[in-house]
């Protein structure tokens, strides 16, 4: 096969971006992979909808079924977004045995298991590089580049909107609400902004990466998510004084003891059945996190995304780039187009199944069991004995304090009191803070932000 015909569903920002990118670099791609990807038809909502790049009228239709069902369309790209119509489109194409490319993280997060099972059943393949972190080739890296590694940890700044807001809060000392309002005015944040700032967009992406990295399907319901609304200018200020930057971080961390797989079989790899029966416990979470300023992720600013991956063989690696936007997303779709075209050309549609279970059954750790360090900010009455009362509760809960800051205040008034806590379980810290929050000397709800030291 020297030419593969593409049917695209969606001619908006991403769809027209892909059309434009193929016009620009389709020839280059063909010379690299030895097969030409030709656009046969693009299904759009309306011919005259606003789009950043023009699409010729002759290539458009408003009937997506005619594109999917066209026997001369070998490959389908779903670029409409949402979870209802997009699901129908993908299922229809997969059932015809056609490979599908999607950029749809929300759909994969909600229906990934069903879509992957359908692809397998009908001998089709599903490609989804553009679903996570736009132009950063993180899916391909996890599936292929790190195929020989166990993923010990993955830390991702995967939401550009949150990173933009937190960066400006840090640089300008501004409050969350003011920066959000301005970001919306400038088009950096959606209205309403909930999907981004409450962490749900990051949840979709981190769930996909966790599933890929660990080979068990991570349901979004199992992912502990906290957004950036509660982060205040005061938190950023104190974090800075302590040498930290606050980022919304997706964390995927394997917590079982990998040595067991070797120990139990006396130096040889454990039998497959033994490994299959063991559960690997993985932290999968999204929350604002204090990152040491010396860590490379602390310098990832504005709308940029970055993913830091630690493999057991490779060690630490870093991926950085634009996580959204028509061109970055188009670059990821083109990468999938090339893979799918090569698979069609070579008849290797199972070369890389979209999702495969790994060596052991896995489970997401409940957040209460996750061990971390903590930054705690309290607003307390500045009176003798207050610090002792709070320290006693941490002590009774077996939580160590690594440092305390109290800016000079006026006796009798409320002052901020900042604690840095040693490693403890989230469960223990949440319980202790609930007790502390009830003390009459504590004037508002305690703020707790986890600290990541990347050890």
CA–CA distance, 398 with 375 (Å, rounded to integer): 16
Q: Is 78 in the site for ligand HSE (CB under 6 A)?
A: no
Whose tokens are 């949402």? That residue is 82
**Listed ranges 77-85, 154-162, 241-249, 274-282: which one lies at the site for ligand HSE (CB under 6 A):** 154-162
Cis omega before residue 411 (within 30°)? no
Q: In the range 273-332, which residues lie near ligand HSE by CB under 6 A?
A: 323-324
At its nearest, how many Å lie between ligand HSE and the CB of residue 305? 7
**Residues ≥6 apart with Cβ < 8 Å to 111:** 83, 87
Min dist CB 159 to ligand HSE, Å, is: 4
Task: Return the biggest CA–CA distance within the chain.
Answer: 81
Residue 10 in contact with ligand HSE, rule: CB under 6 A? no
Contact 325, 20 (CB under 8 A): no
Give CA–CA dist 46/331, Å, rounded: 25
Give the C-alpha separation, 244 to 292, whole Å: 4
CB of 329 vs ligand HSE, minimal distance in Å:
8
Give the Cα separation of 124 and 434 in Å (integer): 51
Cα distance between residue 239 and residue 416, in whole Å: 13
> Which of the stretches 65-73, 136-144, 158-166, 404-412 binds ligand HSE when contact is defined by CB under 6 A?
158-166
Residue 442: strand pairing partners? 380
Q: Specify the stretch interacting with ligand HSE by CB under 6 A; choose among 46-54, 157-165, 169-177, 284-292.
A: 157-165
Closest to ligand HSE by CB, 201 or 339 = 201
Q: Does 159 bind ligand HSE (CB under 6 A)?
A: yes
Show contacts with ligand HSE in window 176-215 (CB under 6 A). 196, 201
Residue 304 vs 355, nearer CB to ligand HSE = 304
Quote the least distance from Cβ 176 to ligand HSE, whole Å.
16
Residue 160 sits in the site that holds ligand HSE (CB under 6 A): yes
242 by Cβ neighbours in 10 Å (0-12 / 13-18 / 19+) ranks as middle
State how far the Cα of 82 lies from the Cα of 79, in Å rounded to an integer: 9
Of the two residues 211 and 425, which places its CB atom closer to ligand HSE in the complex?
A: 211
Tokens 């670099």, residue located? 25
Using CB under 6 A as the binding criterion, the count of chain residues that bind ligand HSE stands at 7
Q: Compose the 106-145 pattern: x for residues touching ligand HSE by CB under 6 A, - for all others.
A: ----------------------------------------
Q: Are 77 and 7 in contact (CB under 8 A)?
A: yes
Element (H, E) at 281: strand 279-292
Toward ligand HSE, which CB reaches closer, 129 or 201?
201
Integer Cα distance of 416 and 376 in angstroms: 10
Nearer Cβ to ligand HSE (252/367): 252
User: What SS3 class is residue 358?
Assistant: coil
Q: How many residues comprise the chain?
A: 455
E strand or H helix that includes residue 247: strand 244-254
| Beta carbon of residue 370, minimum distance to ligand HSE (angstroms, whole number) | 24
Q: Does 161 bind ligand HSE (CB under 6 A)?
A: yes
Which residue's CB is nearer to ligand HSE, number 109 or number 161? 161
Nearest residue to 306 via CA among 169, 449, 134: 134
Q: Contact between 250 and ligand HSE (CB under 6 A)?
A: no
Q: Is 227 in the site for ligand HSE (CB under 6 A)?
A: no
* CB nearer to ligand HSE: pick between 125 and 163: 163
Task: Give the residue numbers annotated as catalytic, written as ranges.
Answer: 205
Among the listed ranges 76-84, 155-163, 171-179, 345-353, the one in contact with ligand HSE (CB under 6 A) is: 155-163
Point out which residues bind ligand HSE (CB under 6 A).
Answer: 159-161, 196, 201, 323-324
């Amino acid at each position: 096969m020297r030419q593969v015909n593409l049917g695209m569903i969606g001619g908006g920002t991403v769809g027209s971006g892909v059309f434009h990118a193929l016009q620009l670099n389709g020839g280059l791609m063909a010379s690299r992979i030895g097969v030409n990807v030709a656009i046969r038809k693009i299904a759009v909502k309306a011919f005259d909808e606003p789009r950043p790049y023009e699409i010729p009228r002759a290539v458009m239709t408003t009937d997506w079924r005619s594109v999917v069902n066209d026997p001369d369309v070998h490959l389908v790209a779903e670029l409409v977004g949402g979870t209802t119509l997009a699901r129908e489109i993908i299922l229809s194409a997969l059932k015809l045995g056609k490979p599908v490319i999607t950029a749809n993280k929300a759909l994969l997060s909600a229906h990934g298991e069903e879509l992957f099972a359908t692809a397998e059943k009908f001998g089709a393949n599903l490609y989804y590089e553009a679903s996570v972190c736009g132009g950063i080739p993180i899916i391909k890296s996890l599936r292929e580049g790190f195929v020989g590694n166990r993923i010990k940890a993955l830390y991702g700044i995967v939401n550009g909107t949150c990173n933009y807001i937190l960066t400006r809060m840090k640089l300008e000392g501004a409050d969350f609400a003011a920066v959000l309002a301005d970001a919306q005015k400038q088009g950096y944040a959606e209205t309403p902004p909930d999907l981004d700032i409450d962490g749900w967009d990051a949840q979709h992406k981190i769930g996909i990466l966790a599933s890929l990295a660990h080979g068990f399907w991570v349901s979004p319901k199992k992912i502990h998510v906290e957004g950036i609304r509660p982060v205040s200018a005061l938190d950023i200020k104190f974090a800075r004084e302590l040498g930290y930057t606050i980022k919304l971080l997706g964390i995927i961390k394997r917590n079982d003891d990998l040595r067991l797989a070797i120990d139990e079989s006396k130096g040889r790899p454990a039998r497959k059945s033994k490994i299959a029966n063991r559960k690997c416990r993985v932290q999968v979470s999204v929350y604002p996190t204090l990152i040491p300023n010396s860590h490379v992720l602390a310098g990832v600013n504005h709308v940029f995304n970055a993913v830091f991956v630690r493999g057991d063989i490779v060690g630490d690696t870093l991926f950085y780039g634009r996580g959204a936007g028509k061109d970055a997303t188009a670059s990821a779709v083109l990468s999938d187009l090339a893979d799918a075209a090569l698979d069609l050309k070579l008849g290797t549609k199972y070369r890389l199944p979209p999702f495969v279970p790994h060596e052991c059954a896995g489970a997401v750790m409940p957040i209460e069991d996750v061990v971390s360090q903590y930054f705690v900010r309290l607003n307390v009455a500045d009176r003798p004995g207050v610090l002792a009362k709070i320290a006693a509760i941490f002590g009774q809960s077996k939580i160590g304090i690594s440092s305390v800051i109290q800016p000079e205040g006026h006796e009798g008034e409320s002052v901020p009191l900042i604690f840095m806590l040693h490693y403890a379980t989230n469960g223990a810290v949440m319980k202790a803070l609930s007790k502390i929050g009830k003390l009459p000397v504590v004037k508002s709800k305690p703020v707790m932000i986890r600290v990541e030291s990347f050890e």
